[in-house]
Amino acid sequence: MNLNLEVLYQALHDLAFAVYIGGLFYAEIVLTPAAGAVAPAQAAVVMRKAGDRQLIIAWASLLVILITGILRLGHLHVLAFPGTFFLAPGIASIAYGHTIFTMFGLWCLLAALGLVMTFVLRPRLIGKIDPTLSRPERERRQEQMVGAARWMSIVLRADLLVAVVIAVLGVSLASGGLV
């Protein structure tokens, strides 16, 4: 039964990470260039709808990654309460433990970037410009939306870079870790 649970935890963990990083690659390589090839109004609708769906999938993936990561470490008897950041002292002091710490810190960075995208940038992007506003107010609102779109692109690329680093670190755990 324990072996089956480990296989289940690993499969769910890897699948959730593949969905997360795959969504980032799809957005960067397919969706964004395609949106640039259609009229701005159509692109805005497609990007908003895709963003709505990606938002749910990304947060669900991050949650599954966290839960299954903890379950996997528990199954491997690596967790310790008390311990050094919940890792057994013997594990915490070697490259494997350092890599786990680094991966968790980077997961926290993914969560922080997700919070910025979800609660700061996205609301600025999906808002509509009220036609009753004065011309200067409409222009200011348009500039805010363009700025938010630019920052969203930067944050998405940073998110992708962090996710790739986590993937490399995760693969390195089979050889004892990199850090």
Closest of 118, 6, 131 to residue 68, by C-alpha: 6
pLDDT tens digits for 54-83?
999 999 999 999 999 999 999 888 888 776
Helices (H), the chain: 2-26, 32-35, 40-75, 89-92, 95-116, 122-126, 135-172
Closest of 115, 138, 135 to residue 127, by C-alpha: 138
Place of tokens 């324990």: 2
pLDDT tens digits for 128-155?
788 888 999 989 988 988 899 899 999 9
pLDDT band at 46 (very low <50, low <70, confident <90, very high): confident
**Which tokens hold the place of 21?**
């990083």
Closest of 84, 86, 73, 68 to residue 12, by C-alpha: 68
CA distance 58 to 55: 5
Please report, for the chain, the start and end positions of each structural domain, with discontinuous segments joined by +.
2-175
Q: What is the pLDDT of residue 145?
A: 87
- Cβ neighbors of 34 (< 8 A, separation 6 or more) are 46
Query: What is the secondary structure of 14-52 as a DSSP string?
Result: HHHHHHHHHHHHHIIIIIHHHHTTS-HHHHHHHHHHHHH
Indicate left, alpha or beta for 88 from its phi (over 0: left) and psi (-120 to 50: alpha): beta
Angle at 17 between CA 157 and CA 105, to 5 degrees: 70
Mean pLDDT, residues 41-63:
91
Closest of 119, 17, 2, 5 to residue 66, by C-alpha: 17
Q: What is the pLDDT of residue 107?
A: 98
Q: Cis peptide leading into 33, omega within 30 of 0?
A: no
